[in-house]
Chain A
Amino acid sequence: DGGITQSPKYLFRKEGQNVTLSCEQNLNHDAMYWYRQDPGQGLRLIYYSQIVNDFQKGDIAEGYSVSREKKESFPLTVTSAQKNPTAFYLCASISTGELFFGEGSRLTVL
């Protein structure tokens, strides 16, 4: 079945470590997105990519980095510069205005 796969589902990290969250889609969508979700704050856009080898900062890009070398893949790296990285991260792709979401990755910094 077509869809978006995020991994890992749960991840623990020590302070000062970088961590990369995987996002893969087989929907043949051009545009992909990364959102961060915190309780009571809804979803906030971190980065988005509308085409391969191109991406733009969203509203809260500081402390994060992305790459888009393949249409199917849009990994997100949470760097040690991110001050408060503990959150639920959601990857999505878009078609005719509708976002399709992965199941999310929950990152906890110890």
Chain B
Amino acid sequence: AQSVTQLDSQVPVFEEAPVELRCNYSSSVSVYLFWYVQYPNQGLQLLLKYLSGSTLVKGINGFEAEFNKSQTSFHLRKPSVHISDTAEYFCAVRKAFGNEKLTFGTGTRLTIIP
């Protein structure tokens, strides 16, 4: 089975500073990886995904993530954050083939400090 660990439950960052949200996964087979964002009392919205190809993936709102197979990581980064980036961020993993169930991490709450 797959699992996902988001090491930081809360990350405070000053506005216009860079941010990295960490995600590590565990799986015995090839995986697809995702980052989702959730604003208060809303559903989740896809930020970006890694299915194959280039290990550097660019998403919406200026976010990017790098798939590192040797370190089993998929960290999310943004070079300069904005107040509107305040939200909860979830990393998710699923097997590359077969059953399409996603396994989610516990989430990281990103708070932008003006």
Pick from B9, B36, B49: contact of A97, CB under 8 Å: B49
Q: Is the CB of A90 within 8 A of B106?
A: no
Q: Is the CB of A104 within 8 A of B46?
A: no
CA distance A31 to B36 in the complex (A): 19
Chain A CB within 10 Å, residue with most, of B32, B42, B102: B102
B-facing residues in A14-73 (Cβ within 8 Å): 31, 33, 35, 40-45, 48, 50, 58
Q: Is the CB of A90 within 8 A of B44?
A: yes
- CB proximity of A80 to chain B, nearest CB, Å: 26
Contact with B along A86-110 (1 / 0, CB 8 A): 0010101010011111111010000
CA distance A106 to B40 in the complex (A): 12
List 29 contacting pairs A-B, 8 Å CB cutoff, sorted by A.
A4-B43, A31-B100, A33-B101, A40-B106, A41-B106, A42-B90, A42-B104, A42-B106, A43-B44, A43-B90, A44-B104, A58-B101, A90-B44, A92-B44, A97-B34, A97-B49, A97-B51, A98-B34, A98-B46, A99-B36, A99-B44, A100-B46, A101-B36, A101-B43, A101-B44, A103-B42, A104-B41, A104-B43, A106-B41
Interface residues of B, Cβ cutoff 8 Å to A: 9, 32, 34, 36, 41-46, 49, 51, 90, 92, 94, 100-102, 104-107
The 5 closest A-B pairs by CB, nearest first: A101-B43, A42-B106, A43-B104, A42-B104, A101-B44
Interface residues of A, Cβ cutoff 8 Å to B: 4, 6, 31, 33, 35, 40-45, 48, 50, 58, 88, 90, 92, 94, 97-104, 106
- Additional 6 contacts, C-beta under 8 A, given A40-B9, A40-B107: A42-B106, A90-B44, A101-B43, A102-B43, A103-B41, A106-B41
